[in-house]
Amino acid sequence: MRFFAQLRYNFRMRFFGPFFFGEPFRPFSPPHLVALALILAANLLIVWQRRRFSPAARRATRGLLAGLMVLAQVSFIAWAAYVGKASLQTVLPLHLCSLFMWVSAVTLFTRSRRLFELSYFLGGGGALFALITPDIGMYNFPHFVFFHALIGHGALLTTQVYLIAVEGFRPGPRAVRRMFASVNLYILAVATVDALIGANYMFLAYKPDFPTPLDYLGPWPWYILAVELIALVVFYLMNLPFKTEPRSRKDREGFLI
């Protein structure tokens, strides 16, 4: 019995513990590349088969993607509570991707054009960066945090591809201006919350204590301004594929729900 108890303890510590016993996560390591390849394959499959999605397949896909994002968020809160890291400073859905996993899940079921535009630019753009440079600290494969980050952000990005390729959603006119204004308003709101509760959501108070691309963007607060400029460029690039498309009547009339 003691052997099995020790085995269960080792399993919990290795896969769900507060620390990772092994080589820390490195971007583009073999597990990271495999995860990225699987996500890319799923997105290419959706685009390739976009005209063959039956109503039942659409419902199933929307349910699967929404379920993965909700599960990622709920399971992370449960894990943080399990290891004693759950607090107002760590589990509120205020990081951009955390918030837009919930928003995208709602978008999948409501098929709201208003929410889609936010989900596409803010959620999809954030997910792309988060997949390339995951914010998971030391946690590497096969720890829970590794799976949480790659599955959650993978589902967030795939949701945008699905809504565009299968459901036919498109950003509306002047979308980049609205999204840049929206992200700045959101930054102000999150910065206020950070100041009130002593948190560091969206890394607005200081850089994370592990290597990230923010290290190359200067000290606080200049790295925040640099990220905003990068976001503006990314928004324009994300909008480019739709610039030459004829706008539908719904798009012209203002994102009817």
Query: What pLDDT digit, counting tens, does each position of 199-208 carry?
Result: 999 999 998 8
pLDDT per residue over 206-248, tens digit each?
A: 988 777 788 888 898 899 999 999 999 999 999 998 876 655 5
Res. 250: pLDDT tops 70: no
Average pLDDT over every residue of 71-89: 94
The pLDDT value recorded for residue 216 is: 85
Say what the pTM is.
0.90
Q: Concatenate the DSSP letters of all residues of the chain into one string.
A: -HHHHHHHHHHHHHHHSSS--SSPP-TT-HHHHHHHHHHHHHHHHHHHTGGG--HHHHHHHHHHHHHHHHHHHHHHHHHHHHTT--STTTSSTTSHHHHHHHHHHHHHHH--HHHHHHIIIIIIHHHHHHHHS---TT--TTSHHHHHHHHHHHHHHHHHHHHHHTS-----TTHHHHHHHHHHHHHHHHHHHHHHHT--GGG-SS--SS--GGGGS-STTHHHHHHHHHHHHHHHHHHGGGTTSPPPHHHHTT---
The pLDDT value recorded for residue 11 is: 63
Res. 253: pLDDT tops 80: no
